[in-house]
Amino acid sequence: MATFRNQATLSYNGSSTTSNVVVGEITQVLSAAKYAPVDRYQTGDQLTFVVSITNAGTAPFTALTVTDDLGTYEFGTETRTPLTYVDGSVALYQNGILQEDPAVTAGPPLVVGGIAVPAGGNVVLIYQARVNEFADPSGEGTITNTATVTGIGLSAPIEISETVSGESAVLLSITKAVAPVPVAENGRLTYTFVIENYGTRPAVATDNLIVTDSFDPILTDLAVTFNGTAWTAPAQYTYDETTGLFATAEGQITVPAATVTRDPVTGAFTTVPGVATLVVTGTV
C-alpha cells in the first residue's frame, strides 16, 4: 500500500495561502512472485525461472516490463553476471494460455516488455538462463537474481528475487585408452581408464563406483593397478577369463573432488577435475 500527500496553494492580489495537507493511500492490486523449480546448480546448467504476476484489480495492466539482472554482482570496480539468458527460451502465459513471444532484450539485464495482465487475471513468464564461469560452483556458492516489474499504472516498481545455490556433488566422466596399437599376437595389451570428477565433492567408497568391461579379445595373466598401486582379485576386482568380463569391487574406486580457482583479474572460476587412474594389462 502506497501513501501519498499533497497540498493546494491559493494565490490572489499578490498574496497566497495554502490548504491543509491531504493524505491518501493507493492499494496495490498487482503482485508478483519468482521462483526456480531447481534451486541447485553446477557450471553449465540451464536453470528455469518462473515469474508470476497477478492482477487483483478491476482494470487491466497493458504495458508492463520485467527486468531481470541475471544475478549481476560487483567485482572490484566492475560487475560480473553469473547467468546468461538462453535465446528463445521465454514463454508467456496469460490466464494459462500461451501467448505470442514478447519483446526480449537478452542483456544483461534481461528485459521482457509489452506484458499485459487482464483484470482479475494473471500472467506467468518462464525463461531459462545458463550458469556461466562467473558463478561460484562450490557448495558455498550462491546466485541471487532479482527481477523488477515496472509499467504504467503501477504506483511503485515491484521487486522480486530468487536465490539458487552451488551443488556439492559428484560429477564423473570416464575415458578409455588402449596401447600398444597394433599389438602382436601373444603380446601384452594395456587398457587405461581415466575417471574424472568435475564435482565439488569427492567420490568416496560409499558411492560404490564400479567399472565393468568385457575384454575382446579376452586377456589372460591380468595385472591391475589403481593410481599406481597394485590390486589383487577378488578383493579389489573380479575377472572371468572365459568371458573376458572384468569388474572392480564396490567401494574400491575413489576420486578426489575438483579444484576450483578464481582469476583475480577477470573473476572467472575455473574447475580442474579430480582424477583417478585404473590400468589393466593382460596377454592377448
**CA distances in angstroms from 216 to 22, 92, 124, 175, listed in the order given:** 90, 54, 55, 17
The Cα 253–Cα 210 span in angstroms is: 7
pTM over 0.75: yes
Give yes or no: residues 160 and 180 share one domain.
Answer: no
Pairing of strands 259-262, 269-272: antiparallel
CATH number at residue 272: 2.60.40
Give yes or no: residues 28 and 126 share one domain.
Answer: yes
Q: Which domain holds residue 21?
A: 2-166
Give yes or no: residues 142 and 179 share one domain.
Answer: no
Residue ranges, the chain, pLDDT below 70: 1-4, 24-27
Per the omega criterion (within 30 degrees of 0), is the bond before 180 cis?
yes
Give yes or no: residues 105 and 184 share one domain.
Answer: no
Give 262's strand partners. 269
Look at residues 148, 166, 184 and tell me which one is the last residue of a structural domain: 166
Query: What pLDDT is recorded for position 107?
Result: 87
The Cα 34–Cα 61 span in angstroms is: 19
Give yes or no: residues 249 and 139 share one domain.
Answer: no
Give yes or no: residues 135 and 262 share one domain.
Answer: no
Counted domains in the chain: 2
Give yes or no: residues 196 and 261 share one domain.
Answer: yes
Give yes or no: residues 88 and 145 share one domain.
Answer: yes
Look at residues 111, 137, 166 and tell me which one is the last residue of a structural domain: 166
**Beta-carbon neighbour count of residue 237 at 10 Å?**
22
Reduced to 3 states (helix: H, G, I; strand: E, B; else coil), residue 23 is strand
Give yes or no: residues 97 and 211 share one domain.
Answer: no
Residues 6+ apart with CB under 8 A from 211: 174, 193, 195, 246, 247, 248, 253, 278
pLDDT in tens, 15-54: 888 888 877 555 678 999 999 999 999 999 999 999 999 9
Give yes or no: residues 151 and 255 share one domain.
Answer: no
CATH number at residue 28: 2.60.40.740
Look at residues 146, 166, 186 and tell me which one is the last residue of a structural domain: 166
Give yes or no: residues 147 and 198 share one domain.
Answer: no
Q: What single string gives the DSSP state of each residue in 37-69?
A: S--EE-TTPEEEEEEEEEE-SSS-EEEEEEEE-
Give yes or no: residues 9 and 112 share one domain.
Answer: yes
Per the omega criterion (within 30 degrees of 0), is the bond before 234 cis?
yes
